[in-house]
Structure 1
Amino acid sequence: MTKRVIPSLFFSVALLFSVPALAQNDSIVLNNNASAAGQMTAEKFNSLLKQQGFKSVIVNRPDQELGNTVTVNELRSIAEKSHVSVIYQPVISGKISQTDVAEFAKYYNELPKPILMVCKSGSRSSSLFNQAKAQGLLHE
């Protein structure tokens, strides 16, 4: 019997929605209006807001996710001091639905820019952005 190697759907999707390397400021620049950042602490979040001048934040990491060290309420408290709005749109890694993509696109189109997206590694936030962009849902 001959074994056939079939490329996995994940690998194909990963190539389609590849994630750029982290920049020096620990955020992934997605375009002029949006960046994604991974594992967040209060200090890192405060620093990113001050250094990059983000006007909005979308938190894609569920508060209860294993290894999460800062809750959305803690991030919101920090952001409010800089007059930055925070949206909590938790999505499960590897299980982004079309509803998640459409909801993200709605926020992206309505929020003041630039937007910082936050999750565990930046990957799921980047995936949301890339899927919405590929579907023509983002007004740029």
Structure 2
Amino acid sequence: MAQSAITQVSPELAMINEISPQDFNQLVQQNRFKSVILHRPEHDRGHGVTVYQLRDIAEQAKISLIYQPIDQAKNAQTDIQAFARYYNSLPKPILIMCKSGQRSMELYQQAKQQGLLND
């Protein structure tokens, strides 16, 4: 993975920023994650990879991919609650993704601070 590095947030959660389809395919084939939550809006593509490409790769690897686009750095309470529902219900470990990682980390931290995550 040339440009993307995985940050281990907790035993059940890791975060990655921009990723190419090839790197994502390689990552999911390693079988480290059972679920992925993508926070990057479609118009904010980075490497040019689309949500549909990522979803196809995830489906082939038989892992869940949830698309929860977050369009701003400040998360609404509804975004935080939705993230917590996904986090609590998806098979773990989970990989969260966005262009820089900031949106994903903020959602996780805010949900954790509010006591919404079943850790």
Counterpart residue number, 1:15: none
1:44 corresponds to 2:23: yes
Matched residues in 2 for 1:49 and 1:100: separation? 25
In structure 2, runs of 5+ residues without a counterpart are none
How far residue 50 of structure 1 moved from its aligned partner, in angstroms, is: 2.6
Q: TM-score, normalised by structure 1?
A: 0.77
- Cα pair 1:108 1:138 within 8 Å, conserved: yes
Counterpart residue number, 1:69: 48
Counterpart of 1:35 in 2: which secondary structure? strand
- Cα pair 1:62 1:90 within 8 Å, conserved: yes
Pairing partner for 1:104 from 80, 83, 94 = 83
Larger Rg: 1
How far residue 93 of structure 1 moved from its aligned partner, in angstroms, is: 3.1
Pairing partner for 1:123 from 80, 102, 105 = 102
- Cα pair 1:132 1:138 within 8 Å, conserved: yes
- The runs of at least 4 aligned residues of structure 1 exceeding 2 Å deviation read none
- Cα pair 2:73 2:102 within 8 Å, conserved: no
In structure 1, runs of 5+ residues without a counterpart are 1-24
Counterpart of 1:75 in 2: which secondary structure? helix
